[in-house]
Chains A and B, each alone.
Chain A
Amino acid sequence: MGAESSPKIAIVDESPIRAAILEEGLREAGFTDVVHISEMQSLLSRIYALDPDVIVIDLENPSRDILEQMFQVSRAVRRPIAMFVDQSDAASIQASVDAGVSAYIVDGLKKERLKPILDLCISRFNAFARLQDELDRTKSALEDRKVIDRAKGILMKLKGLTEDEAYVLLRSTAMREKKKIGEIAQSILTASELLK
């Protein structure tokens, strides 16, 4: 690898969406040589065949332990690989573990060149986690809305309320019991199931 050329980066991630987000970020930042590995079988031989300069892996991936093997001197290894560890840079390690990503650097690549790659991975991993959170919240909000609609229906039928009155009753009960409206609605559904 020449000093000016883009280092070859392998992304080991079973999540295609996160890998795509990461890949896009890296390309935008000028790292054009990016390969995504999604299949964990024969991971090591895939990596040896690719011969990357940097390997990025998510921390939810059990295959991380497989990468640790590459530090060992073995006849199978062509180039020694080390995790990006710098005794003086605990903050980077903390940030990457918090974000859920880990980077391995292949001997020959200067640490200064890894730093921007790692920073980018951390920010993209965090962005993905936020997206995931939002998605989860949206999903549960949708779920809640369905449950609330059904609970309103039950109240309207049993107590002869209008939809607005049923909703006000749910909301005031939730406030009084310091619970979420969704929880009160769920307990109405459960109770009505029991009393059927």
Chain B
Amino acid sequence: MTKALHIGFIPLIDAAALIVAVEKGFAAAEGLDVTLTREVSWSNVRDKLNIGLFDAAHLLAPVAIASSLGLGHIKVPIIAPVNLGLNGNAITVSPALHAAIMAELDGDRFDPMATALALSRVVASRRKSAAEPLTFGMTFPFSTHNYQLRFWMAAGGVDPDEDIRLVVLPPLYMVDSIASGQIDGFCVGAPWNSIAVDRGVGQILHFVSDILVRAAEKVLAIRQGWSEKNPDLVAALVRVAFRAAEFIEQSENRIEVARILARREHVGVDVDVILRTLEGRLKISADGTIRESSRYLLVGREGAPRPDPTQAAWLYAQMVRWGQVAMSSEALATAKAVFRPDLYDAALGLRQEADRGAVHSIGAFAGPTFDPADVAGYLASVKGSRRVL
């Protein structure tokens, strides 16, 4: 018997596992009749998931945590039994800001410490000349983009609240906003960085994988209450996402995947831009410079789909660091419990530790090593924060 499920998504490349799961029949093979609904805002995805219009959703990992903690909105416990993507974001700046950073650069241009220090010098000289602070766009208050930008800036001694204006912008508006000069840079997921480059209005300064080796990005989010009533459906969804993720990572499937994603009802951008993302070969400036990375976006490889509570703890630590929530061991435990490797392992029948491919690392380019068992110690030693007590 097939079961009808409604799943919401935002048109981004890291919704690929869900889209491919439906289009290539992985969902149907598990007896799921999935209807995908394209949404225009993360707030909508969250609200429709929370009130039950969606059974599951493509969601920013920190939004799943914020919802479980009741931050910024009604408290609805959410679980993430499978990741839809790791990394995949990039920091893009206007050609003018890129030139200013390069002029101040002392070191390798792909070294985030060198660029962060250069940014701090740009900020200082702008302050001296009484110029307006630089403005950066990110996609949501509880977003990886927000924390990744802040992490990078703070490492160079830039205060992301005092020295910079950080503003929320829907991904759809990022490119126009940098083109019109409303913002000087942004951090967003694929394909929007590439589109800014293609239009000649932005240069990709960093892949987020320069800043963090592994960063949980989007999860398949499910209401905890629903998951407890429907354990078989949760397991089926994990398998469906896992198989689609494996399919996406096969190089011989890339063109087909790109064509599926390119369709209007999915992501709705050029096949070529999507291919570059999937291959990790991005054009980073209008002159055609290509930069390759094997870590740009991880969908199905390197154990990417398996949820890692260490990632949840890191995201919670960033919320505390930037004053979105006070530190408490209960809240930390709640955040970690959002990520459910146990459900993932059970769904895929991974009984042996060795089969699970568990990786617990963040791999940040700066600051203390992150230990999920000592978040308070981490926060005490990290440079730059806006903690509330």
Contact = CB atoms under 8 A, between A and B. Distances in A.
Contacts of A6: none
A90 B51 contact: yes
A68 interface: yes
14 contacts: A42-B182, A60-B40, A62-B170, A62-B173, A65-B139, A66-B167, A68-B42, A68-B140, A68-B168, A72-B72, A76-B165, A90-B74, A97-B47, A97-B48
A172 B182 CA distance: 61
A69 B180 CA distance: 21
A5 interface: no
B141 interface: yes
B169 interface: yes
Given A75-B161, A83-B73, A93-B51, A102 B182 contact: no
Contact of A93 (B47, B75, B180): B47
B386 to A, nearest CB: 9
Interface in A70-129: 71-76, 83, 85, 87, 90, 93-94, 97, 102
A65 B168 contact: yes
A62 B172 contact: yes
Interface string B71-108: 01111000000000000000000000000000000000
Contacts of B162: 75
A172 B131 CA distance: 76
Interface string B158-197: 0001100101111011000000101000000000000000
A73 B323 contact: yes
Contacts of A42: 182
A65 B170 contact: yes
* Interface pairs A-B: 8 shortest CB-CB: A62-B170, A69-B168, A64-B41, A62-B40, A85-B74, A65-B41, A64-B43, A71-B72
A8 B72 CA distance: 23
Interface string B282-297: 0000000000000000
A41 B167 CA distance: 12
In this complex, which of B43, B165, B170 has the most chain A Cβ atoms within 10 angstroms of its Cβ?
A: B43
A61 to B, nearest CB: 7
B167 A64 contact: no
B53 interface: yes
- Secondary structure at the B interface, as helix, strand, loop or mixed, is loop
Nearest to A75: B161
B40 A94 contact: no
A16 B73 CA distance: 29
A63 interface: yes
Contacts, number: 74
Interface residues of B, number: 30
Contacts of A73: 323, 388
Interface of B: 40-44, 47-48, 51, 53, 72-75, 139-141, 161-162, 165, 167-170, 172-173, 180, 182, 323-324, 388
Given A60-B40, A97-B47, 17 more contacts: A59-B41, A64-B40, A64-B44, A65-B169, A66-B167, A67-B43, A68-B141, A68-B168, A69-B168, A72-B324, A75-B161, A83-B72, A83-B73, A85-B73, A90-B51, A93-B47, A102-B47
Contact of A71 (B75, B141, B170, B388): B141
Contact of B170 (A59, A66, A83, A94): A66
Contacts of A71: 72, 141
Residue in B53, B167, B182 with the greatest tally of chain A CB atoms within 10 Å:
B167
Residue of B73, B74, B168, B172 with most partner-chain A CB within 10 A: B168
Interface residues of A, number: 29
Contacts of A74: 161
Interface centre among B75, B170, B172 (most CB of A within 10 A): B170
A34 interface: no
Contact of B167 (A44, A59, A61, A93): A44
Contacts of A102: 43, 47
Given A71-B72, A83-B73, A66 B169 contact: yes
A106 B309 CA distance: 35
Contacts of B48: 97
Contacts of B53: 97
Contact of B74 (A59, A68, A87): A87
Contacts of A93: 47, 51, 74
A97 B140 contact: no
Nearest to B71: A71
Contacts of B173: 40, 62-63
Nearest to B173: A62
A97 B41 contact: no
Contacts of A41: 180, 182
A68 B140 CA distance: 8
A20 B388 CA distance: 43
A65 B60 CA distance: 13
Nearest to A86: B74
A42 B167 CA distance: 10
Nearest to B139: A65
A93 B43 CA distance: 13
